[in-house]
Amino acid sequence: MTLHKKPHIENRKEASVKKLALRLEALKAQGLDEKTIQKDGTVRQIKAAIRQAKQQMARIAEIEALDRKKAEAREEKRNAPKEARPKTKKAQQGDSHRKAKREKKQSMQGKDGGDA
């Protein structure tokens, strides 16, 4: 769900709410009871459209909150002094994995090479 659809979803929800109100008035004017009105196909369809719009708006709100959170984190990182960010190089961590593997391989070849 993209954020640029937000106004369209809001408009669709408002239109569905208006349609529902009109439909309920029309059915009540016909003298139908509440149970029959709730079972009406059109009423159920309009309510489904409203539910769908609410779910979409909730998802958009989650995305907006996440975007705000990420923006704040970016801003904090940007404003942090460079000394505060520790930088460690692999050479400082000790022998690299590649170097250890090479040494192991050479020691294994030395043993195998003497036997042949």
Q: Give the pLDDT confidence of 86-114 residue by residue, as tens digits.
A: 666 655 555 677 778 888 888 888 776 55
Task: With respect to residue 22, please indicate whether it lies within any of the assigned structural domains.
Answer: yes
54-80: average pLDDT = 94
Q: Which residue has the tokens 């000790």?
A: 94
Give me the domain span that covers residue 9: 1-79
pLDDT at 116: 46
Say whether pLDDT at 2 is over 70.
yes
pLDDT at 115: 52
Q: Residue 24 in contact with residue 37, Cβ under 8 Å?
A: yes
| Number of domains into which the chain is organized | 1
pTM value is 0.62
Q: Which two tokens stand for residue 23?
A: 């439909």
CA 41 to chain centre: 33
Average pLDDT, the chain: 86
Q: Which two tokens stand for residue 40?
A: 């009406």
* CA-wise closest residue to 17 among 63, 70, 57: 57
